[in-house]
Amino acid sequence: MNPNHRIIDTLTHIADSYRSQGVPYKYKAYRTAIDAIRSLGTQITDVSQISSLPGIGKAMVDKVREILATGALQQEKDVMSDPITQAIQTFTSIHGIGPVLAKKLVHENALRTIDDLEASSHLLPPQARLGLKYAKDTALRVPYDEIEDHLTYLKKVVAKLVDPMLQICVCGSHRRGGATSGDIDVLITHPSSSSDSGSEYVFLHVIVGVLRDVGYIIDVLAEGTSKFMGYSRLNPSLPVRRLDMRWMPYDVFFPALLYFTGSDMFNITMRVEALRRGYSLNEYGLYEIPGYEHLHHAPAKGAEGPPAGAAKGKRVFVDSEKAIFDLVGMTYVQPPQRSK
Please state the φ and ψ torsions of residue 113, each to the nearest 5 degrees: -125, 170
User: Least distance (Å) from ligand DCP to the CB of residue 290?
Assistant: 25
Q: Is 89 one of the binding residues for ligand DCP (CB under 6 A)?
A: no
What does 262 interact with, of ligand DCP, Mg ion, none (CB < 5 to 8 A by kind)?
Answer: ligand DCP
Among 50, 88, 172, 216, binds Mg ion (CB under 5 A): 172
| Phi, psi dihedral angles at 124 (to 5 degrees) | -100, 145
Q: What is the closest distance, in whole angstroms, from the C-beta atom of residue 5 to ligand DCP in the complex?
A: 17
Nearer to Mg ion, 146 or 183 (CB): 183
- Paired sense of beta strands 217-223 and 142-143, if any: unpaired
Q: Which residues, 6 or more positions from 196, have their beta carbon under 8 angstroms from its beta carbon?
A: 251
Q: What residues contact residue 168 under an 8 Å CB cut-off, 6+ apart?
A: 151, 154, 155, 158, 186, 187, 188
CB of 196 to Mg ion, least distance (A): 30
Indicate the residue among 40 and 268 with the shorter CB distance to Mg ion: 268
Q: Of the two residues 63 and 233, which places its CB atom closer to Mg ion in the complex?
A: 233
φ/ψ of 262, rounded to 5, equals 70, -155
| Pairwise CA distance, residues 20 & 61, whole Å | 24
User: Interface with ligand DCP includes 267 (CB under 6 A)?
Assistant: yes
Q: Which is nearer to Mg ion, 16 or 185 (CB)?
A: 185
Q: What span, in angstroms and rounded, lies between the C-alpha atoms of 266 and 278? A: 19
109 phi, psi to nearest 5 deg: -105, 0
Window of 81-89, 105-113, 143-151, 167-175 that interacts with Mg ion by CB under 5 A: 167-175
Write phi, then psi, for 325 (nearest 5 degrees): -60, -45
Residue nearest to ligand DCP (CB): 262
Residues 182-201 within binding reach of ligand DCP (CB under 6 A): 182-183, 185
**What angle do helix axes 5-21 and 83-92 make, rounded to 10 degrees?**
80
In the window 165-184, what residues touch ligand DCP (CB under 6 A)? 172-173, 178, 181-183
255 is in the binding site of which of Mg ion, ligand DCP, none (Cβ under 5 to 8 A by kind)?
A: none
Q: How many residues at the interface with ligand DCP, by CB under 6 A?
A: 13
Closer residue to ligand DCP, CB minimum distance, 23 or 68: 23
Cβ neighbours of residue 250 under 8 Å, at least 6 residues apart? 189, 190, 191, 192, 193, 194
How far apart are the two ends of the chain, measured CA to CA in Å? 11
Residue 267 touches which of ligand DCP, Mg ion, none (Cβ within 5-8 Å per kind): ligand DCP
* Minimum gap (Å) between residue 181 Cβ and ligand DCP: 4
Amino acid sitting at position 16: D
Report the nearest approach of ligand DCP to the CB of residue 76 (Å): 20
Is there a contact between 335 and 177 (Cβ–Cβ < 8 Å)?
yes
Which is nearer to ligand DCP, 47 or 247 (by Cβ)? 247
Contacted by 263, from Mg ion, ligand DCP, none: CB < 5 to 8 Å by type: ligand DCP
**Other residues' Cβ atoms within 10 Å of the Cβ of residue 150:** 23
CA–CA gap between residue 80 and residue 63 (Å, rounded): 16
183 sits near Mg ion (criterion: CB under 5 A) = yes
DSSP state of 262: -
DSSP single-letter state for residue 61: H
For ligand DCP, which residue of 46, 78, 148, 264 counts as binding (CB under 6 A)? Answer: 264
- Candidates 262, 278, 285, 335; binder of ligand DCP (CB under 6 A) is 262
Nearer to ligand DCP, 216 or 266 (CB): 266
Cite the active site residues.
Answer: 63
Closest CA relative to residue 247, chosen from 295, 179, 195, 189? 189
**Sites of contact with ligand DCP (CB under 6 A):** 172-173, 178, 181-183, 185, 259-260, 262-264, 267
**Sites of contact with Mg ion (CB under 5 A):** 172, 183, 185
